[in-house]
Amino acid sequence: MTVGKLFGTDGVRGVAGRDLDARLATSVAAAAAVVLGKVHAADEAASKRAGRPRAVVGRDPRASGEFLEAAVVAGLAGSGVDVLRLGVVPTPAVAYLTGLLDADLGVMLSASHNPAPDNGIKFFASAGLKLADEVEDDIEAQLAQHAGRQQEVPSGGFGRVADSTSEPERYLEHLLSTVGVFVDDALWRDEAALRARPGLPLAGMRVVVDCAHGASYRLAPRLLRAAGAEVIAIGVEPDGLNINAGCGSTSLGALRSAVLAHAADAGVAYDGDADRCLAVDAGGEVVDGDQILAVLALALKESGRLAANTVVATVMANLGFRQAMQRAGIEVVETPVGDRYLIAAMLDGKFLLGGEQSGHLIMLDHASTGDGMLTSLHLLATVAARGRPLSELAAVMTRYPQVLINVRGVDKQRVAASAADGELAAMVSQAETELASSGRVLVRPSGTEPAVRVMVEAIEETQAQRIADWLAGVVRRVGGAD
């Protein structure tokens, strides 16, 4: 991984020990410390923050996260940043606690939904928001400028490192407060009393939760039980190597089987760092991110809390979602794929709800980034409040067949050039003419994987598959695949 091409759509990511090793992790953290130190110095001059800059660091349970965490902490503390280690926590917990603790920087070590050999470094600014593009550029420039140089002793002294104690519970308390549930320290120590309180929003519900052997394995079952649900937890035995393996939001078979076996009202699944959530209804049918977004959008509209009567979605959103929103009189703002683009559009328009088909939903009045646990809590609370099964609520939209092909081993730049003004552009235009208003075509490079994604949506799955296969062949040809 070369300097200048470090940051993708979601931080720095690659195969741990090869693309992302301890040296790079230390260097990136040190470069980030310099950049945030300038911001901190400006804030200190304005009497907003005193003393050394502060950072919070969390990770998912990947084995590589242990040495990468040590490397990041070394880079930060060695550059004069005080560090609070949160341990294994979800990405949105890092984002929330960065803001709550008035830290200058949050760092999460995770490759999200990717398999165990991968890992990544995600950064959050002081408000718990993803870094702006220009800040990432500054970090890369700093990294290039100081490559190979001896690190200097920071003028304010080396940073100190501490481990968190009650911070994860503060994150859970925040999530619960968004559905009117309030917990104190004594209740956390008495689970029977915690669940016996009257008026809990999930009281009477039986829910299966699949934590993907990931970052939510401790916290998510506690969250849903504290909200009143009877919880059957799976994917809660991480060994450092089994994250996302045949479980979680990227592999819903285990959740579907558990929901049916336990006669549960619903099931929810997160990815490895729990910034995504997908669901399964009582009959074992999958409820994807578009359907969850539709359910929550309608609930907010009915309660008069849908800001500007608008929801934000990406170009990957299903045609059925757009039609459902149109029928409900809800405006849809469309963005490129990636939560940073969703958040930018939401902040710009002061919108409160946005999300992706993958289950990455953002509720901006409660969180600064996608939060799978928050999403599941509000989805299940909506089901309970309506007194109707999840399958009924999800049926508000028809899910049109979508075929997605990840074309690997191609030159992304050659593909992009052909898509702009070349053979691929002509073939996409031909496909769009065939589909007319009954479908869509989307060809784009992945921001998190070495692949070009070809998505075709149509009323008939056979037509979508045929066109997708054909366009994937064009991508391979123009991209120089072997």
HEC string for 173-192: HHHHHCCCCCCCHHHHCCHH
HEC string for 74-129: HHHHCCCCEEEEEEECCHHHHHHHHHHCCCCEEEEECCCCCCCCEEEEEEECCCCC
Bridge-based pairing state of the strands 206-210 and 230-234: parallel
Whether 378 and 296 have beta carbons less than 8 Å apart is answered as yes
Which residue among the candidates 27, 79, 110, 112 is catalytic per the annotation? 112
Q: Measured on CA atoms in the order 116, 117, 118, 124, is the torsion positive or negative?
A: positive
Phi, psi of 18 (to 5 degrees): -120, -70
Distance of CA 6 to the CA centre of its chain: 19
**What CA–CA distance (Å, rounded) separates 50 from 157?**
14
DSSP helix/strand/coil, 355: strand
Region of residue 157 (left: phi > 0; alpha: psi -120 to 50; beta: else): left
How many C-beta neighbours within 10 Å does residue 262 have? Answer: 15
For residue 75 the two structure tokens come to 């880079």
**What CA–CA distance (Å, rounded) separates 301 from 243?**
37
H or E element, residue 4: none
Q: What's the Cα-to-Cα distance from 459 to each of 398, 400, 455, rounded to whole Å?
A: 10, 6, 14
Is 112 catalytic? The answer is yes
> Who contacts 64 (Cβ-Cβ below 8 Å, separation ≥6)?
16, 17, 116, 117, 119
Show which residues are catalytic. Answer: 112
